[in-house]
Structure 1
Amino acid sequence: MEAVLLIDFGSTYTKVTAVDLENKAIIGTSKAFTTIESDICEGLNNALDKLKSQHKDLSIKEMFACSSAAGGLRMVAIGLVPDLTAEAAKRAALSAGAKVMKVFSYELNESEAEEIENIRPDIILLTGGTDGGNKEVILHNAKILASLDTKAPIIIAGNKSVQEKVADILSEKEITICENVMPELDVLNIESARLAIREVFLRRIVYAKGLSKVKDLIEGIIMPTPSAVLAAAKLLGEGTKKEKGIGDLIVVDVGGATTDIHSVAEGLPSKGGVLLKGLPEPFVKRTVEGDLGVRYSADALVCTCGIDELLNKAELSEDQINEYQQFIKANPGYITDSDEIFGKFDFGLASLAVKNATKRHVGTIETHYTPFGATYVQTGKDLTTVRNIIGTGGPIINCKRAKEVLKESLFDPLEPTVLKPMRGKIFIDSKYIFAAMGLLAVKYPDIALSIMKNEIKLILEVD
């Protein structure tokens, strides 16, 4: 049986999915622990052995891969004004599947320069100034970066009037020049930077992360795992030339270290007379919440949301919460069907992660009073009319109360200014195929779309 093999190198597990192209179906899936510290091929071969033991006549035709191993694609973004070029830089990095470690604004000082070195980013995105606008800040920041010991490649995506000067200052570094992420005030142009980030990932980071041996085996498609998930979300929402997608959607991806939210929707005001504030929102948007993971970031999640929120949601005592917090620090890969108390703890963490990550992703609406009456101002995306919500990630897939967890992504009457979906269909990616289908979509989009429609199951409809 000929198959395409789709590989996802995760921080904990290496997951493989075999697809039958002729029948547009998944043959099977398996996983094994990722072996980034020794030889990443060991974990891959272990996962393959499991898969082939279930399907002995399996013949691999092509292999595609994505990776979030060894910390994923760690980036630092530098801009001028926090709400403008710095925000544009952050969005460019997120759209490329990066994990944005820190965003810096204005002129870098000594302590910030030291912080960048301590972060040890894989890539630095340097922006600042509209075309023909402010030159001083990006030139200053280039000089600071030139003085650092960091070997991270630097992508220059700022004021085109000084890009050559910036390149000269950074001549001792590995640099890539691309189009300005904000050529005009309030105009976003992140595609050039996104492609540059991916190119650097392919050219350099693949080797630094121990994936070079794998690159020789696959068909040339390798990307950060979040990029693959984002590609799958876009495909499922928009469809292809041959087949329609399901329409506007939100993907809720809960993980051990982060909770990622992806939306495929315009997000324009759903009611008349509402003014928009801030940068234009991308149709396909990704946000990453590093303090809302349910394993490696569990302490940060509890700190962010408050112990009382978790006590209320999990219906456990504070002593039980503290006990399980310590337990998952030592056992971050722990999953169980038999421990009812731990199940409550896990449910509480996942619920708070979904509630707060979705809240941060969607827009808000405020009332401003003027001499002429009330004015409504929207910041971010209005997703109240989105009708498709898809849950993925181990903490959701393995949760017996996934319906309740995913309902946290819906509109809350107690927070009427937060523009979450009012109602809709809730689906679950029970086989964890989103990243795999994003990979498959690069070459076989129609097949990837067909498989997603068949495999992603409706579990709840909320009116």
Structure 2
Amino acid sequence: MNALLLIDFGSTYTKLTAVDMENEEIIANAKALTTVESDIMIGFQNAYAIMKEKCKGKNIQFDEMLACSSAAGGLKMIAVGLVPDLTAEAAKRAALGAGSRILEVYSHELTLREIRDMIQKKPDIILLAGGTDGGNKDCIIHNAKMIAMNIKDVPVVVAGNRKANDEIEEIFTQQGIDYEMTDNVMPKLNVLNVEPAREAIRDIFMKKIVEAKGMKGIESFIKGILMPTPAAVLNAAKILANGTNEEEGIGDLIVVDIGGATTDIHSIAEGEPTRPGVMKTGLQEPYAKRTVEGDLGMRVSAESLCQAIATKKIKKFAPHLTYNVQERCNYLAQHVNEIPQTSEEIEFDEAMSMAATEVAMERHVGVLEDVYTPMGKVYSLNGKDLSNAKYVIGTGGVLIHSENPGKILKAGLYSEENPKYLKPMKPKFLVDKTYILSAMGLMAVKYPNHAIRILKKYLINV
């Protein structure tokens, strides 16, 4: 049997998915601890041995192997822009959409203190933006000089005012900076153009970052790392929503990914207002949007989750629990491999996940505000109106292993208590029980029709 092997070098586990391409079926899944600190191939070989054992007697031959990675901290980035709510925010969105983890966002002219801070944070890539095309170019040129003089060993993606590109090119070339020029992330006021920057980031990730993270040895075995894992998840969501030349998509959707360190929300939707009399304000929203909440994790970020949402919110979802919420969260943060065993521990984990879902969704969706004008009251929308999203898809350990995944996802729906948050109202729920979203996003790069059909087959209705 000819098969495709999809590999996700995760921060904790290296996960393998074997796919029968002819029948479009998952043959087997396997995972082992990622060993990036020593030799990443050890973890891969351990997972591969498990996979071979599961496939024993099936005469499987892997014709091709494709991989994504979030190992060694994933893709760590710093974004630099001019105005916090404009080009700096646009740069942040471009970086998140490329599957990165944002270490910091800086705006205005960089200071030496900020440069020292950047060096200390050790980013993999710097995204340098600033100014609309034809607008302010002094700031981005100043920041290019500051980076060129002080940070020599970090690749830079330049995605700002194109009128400044010639000068920046000269500065970086003279200083020997590894850089890539691309289109402005915000060519006009409040207009986003993030895809070229995302592609440039992915190019650098594939060419440079993989080698820097000690992963060069895998290239003799597979055809390189195609993308960061979060970008693969976003790609799967896009394929599933939009469809392909052969398969119809399922329409606007949201992915809720609850992890130990973060809760990520991906939305594939235009997010235009669904009610009359609403005017859009703020920065244009990307069609494929990803937000990462670093303070809403189930283990590593359990303490910050407790601080961010307050204990009463967890108690709202589990009113009968006798736990001291703060103490339990502190314990989980110190025991990141803790697996809930008792019914009370399971209920507490689910309450945490529901609180994380509710807050992460509120931060992701658009917010409706009352605006009073001489003509009377109107409404302004800042962000995406996701009221009519057709599907919410759950992934991540707590959702996959829960007996009540629908209950967890329901916490992220529209609420009359907080009507300003335009969260989905009546979506259908799907769960990624076999952990295939990242694998299918990876597969979709080369085989989109196979990927969407497998997604439709294996995502479970709840």
- State whether residues 269 and 382 of structure 1, in contact with CA within 8 Å, keep that contact through their aligned partners in structure 2: yes
SS in 1 for 2:370: strand
1:301 aligns with 2:305: yes
Determine the C-alpha separation between the residues in 2 that align with 1:100 and 1:386. Answer: 27
RMSD between aligned residues: 1.5
- State whether residues 324 and 342 of structure 1, in contact with CA within 8 Å, keep that contact through their aligned partners in structure 2: no
- State whether residues 321 and 344 of structure 2, in contact with CA within 8 Å, keep that contact through their aligned partners in structure 1: no
Q: Deviations over 1:150-200 (max 9, x none)?
A: 521111111111112122223332111111112222222212111110111
Q: Deviations over 1:381-406 (max 9, x none)?
A: 00001121100111211222222111
Residue 282 of structure 1 corresponds to which residue in structure 2? 286
Residue 98 of structure 1 corresponds to which residue in structure 2? 100
Q: Deviations over 1:418-453 (max 9, x none)?
A: 000111211100011000000111111111111110
1:411 aligns with 2:411: no
Shift of residue 114 of structure 1? 2.0
Q: TM (normalized to structure 1)? A: 0.96
Residue 30 of structure 1 corresponds to which residue in structure 2? 30
Determine the C-alpha separation between the residues in 2 that align with 1:221 and 1:299. Answer: 33
SS in 1 for 2:11: coil
- State whether residues 15 and 30 of structure 2, in contact with CA within 8 Å, keep that contact through their aligned partners in structure 1: yes
Output aligned runs, 1:235-314, within 5 Å.
Answer: 235-314=239-318
- State whether residues 68 and 224 of structure 1, in contact with CA within 8 Å, keep that contact through their aligned partners in structure 2: yes
Shift of residue 333 of structure 1? 2.4
Output aligned runs, 1:204-243, within 5 Å.
Answer: 204-220=208-224, 222-243=226-247
Q: TM (normalized to structure 2)? A: 0.96
Shift of residue 317 of structure 1? 6.0
Determine the C-alpha separation between the residues in 1 that align with 2:225 and 2:155. Answer: 21
Residue 354 of structure 1 corresponds to which residue in structure 2? 357
Shift of residue 334 of structure 1? 2.5
Residue 127 of structure 2 corresponds to which residue in structure 1? 125
Determine the C-alpha separation between the residues in 2 that align with 1:91 and 1:330. Answer: 31
Q: Deviations over 1:334-390 (max 9, x none)?
A: 324x32222122112211111111111110111111121111111110000112110
Range moving further from structure 2, 211-220 or 223-232 = 211-220
SS in 1 for 2:456: helix
Output aligned runs, 1:63-462, within 5 Å.
Answer: 63-149=65-151, 151-170=153-172, 171-220=175-224, 222-315=226-319, 320-336=324-340, 338-459=341-462
Determine the C-alpha separation between the residues in 1 that align with 2:35 and 2:257. Answer: 23
Residue 43 of structure 1 corresponds to which residue in structure 2? 43
Shift of residue 321 of structure 1? 3.0
- State whether residues 384 and 420 of structure 1, in contact with CA within 8 Å, keep that contact through their aligned partners in structure 2: yes
Determine the C-alpha separation between the residues in 1 that align with 2:461 and 2:164. Answer: 52
Shift of residue 149 of structure 1? 4.1
The amino acid that maps onto 2:10 is G
Determine the C-alpha separation between the residues in 1 that align with 2:197 and 2:435. Answer: 29
After superposition, the Cα gap between the structure-2 partners of 1:249 and 1:319, relative to the gap in structure 1 and judged at 3 Å, is closer
Q: Which runs of 5+ in 2 are unaligned?
A: none
Q: Which runs of 5+ in 1 are unaligned?
A: none
Shift of residue 274 of structure 1? 1.1
The amino acid that maps onto 2:239 is L
SS in 2 for 1:106: coil
Q: Deviations over 1:231-267 (max 9, x none)?
A: 1000111111111011111111111111111111111
After superposition, the Cα gap between the structure-2 partners of 1:304 and 1:176, relative to the gap in structure 1 and judged at 3 Å, is same
- State whether residues 182 and 189 of structure 1, in contact with CA within 8 Å, keep that contact through their aligned partners in structure 2: yes
Shift of residue 91 of structure 1? 1.2
The amino acid that maps onto 1:357 is A
- State whether residues 311 and 326 of structure 2, in contact with CA within 8 Å, keep that contact through their aligned partners in structure 1: no
- State whether residues 321 and 348 of structure 2, in contact with CA within 8 Å, keep that contact through their aligned partners in structure 1: no
Shift of residue 107 of structure 1? 1.1
Determine the C-alpha separation between the residues in 2 that align with 1:33 and 1:263. Answer: 30
Residue 6 of structure 1 corresponds to which residue in structure 2? 6
Provide the identity percentage.
Answer: 49
Residue 62 of structure 1 corresponds to which residue in structure 2? 64
Shift of residue 313 of structure 1? 2.4
Q: Deviations over 1:52-103 (max 9, x none)?
A: 1111132211100001111110100000111211111111111111111111
Shift of residue 331 of structure 1? 2.6
Range moving further from structure 2, 261-270 or 142-151 = 142-151
Aligned residues, how many?
458
- State whether residues 300 and 334 of structure 2, in contact with CA within 8 Å, keep that contact through their aligned partners in structure 1: no
Determine the C-alpha separation between the residues in 2 that align with 1:143 and 1:291. Answer: 33
- State whether residues 236 and 438 of structure 2, in contact with CA within 8 Å, keep that contact through their aligned partners in structure 1: yes
- State whether residues 441 and 451 of structure 2, in contact with CA within 8 Å, keep that contact through their aligned partners in structure 1: yes
After superposition, the Cα gap between the structure-2 partners of 1:317 and 1:279, relative to the gap in structure 1 and judged at 3 Å, is same
SS in 2 for 1:442: coil
Determine the C-alpha separation between the residues in 2 that align with 1:271 and 1:329. Answer: 42
Range moving further from structure 2, 268-277 or 341-350 = 341-350
